Structure 1
């Protein structure tokens, strides 16, 4: 059975969603890490940890979004 084709607008929504999830999670991780470093005087330890944590969460959210998009669930 063939899959129904997706419209170009759906692809644009997918790309926008992925971009916002990745950028948002990385920025939240960076700013949280900077705040923790300032609070505890441990620069750049928490900045790096926050960066990697934000990146990992962003990638996980991106994979979930793609999986949902591929399955056709609303």
Structure 2
């Protein structure tokens, strides 16, 4: 089984995509949770929920990117 050779820049692009997806989704979840906490005066509740939802979304997006990278599409 021959393995498809990839350019090193493709691996760097994958790592950049993973980093931006994880960091971006967590930051969006944090800021949205903080805004909701200030709006509804429920100090740590929505911050924690936003953090967890952002982390879950980031991991899901990361897994989709890695699966797409290794599928050869």
TM-score where L is the length of structure 1: 0.96
The CA RMSD measured in Å over matched residues stands at: 0.5
Separation (CA, whole Å) in 2 of partners of 1:14 and 1:72: 13
Q: Cα distance, 1:63 vs. partner? A: 0.1
Q: Structure 1, residues 16-70: CA drift from partner, whole Å, max 9, x if none?
A: 0000000000000000000000000001100000000000000000000000000
The Cα shift of 1:4 comes to 1.0
The runs of 5 or more residues in structure 1 that have no matched partner are none
Name the structure 2 match of 1:11: 11
Q: Which residue of 2 aligns with 1:31?
A: 31
Unmatched 5+ stretches in structure 2: none
Work out the number of aligned pairs and report it. 73
Counterpart CA distance in 1 for 2:6 and 2:52 is 33
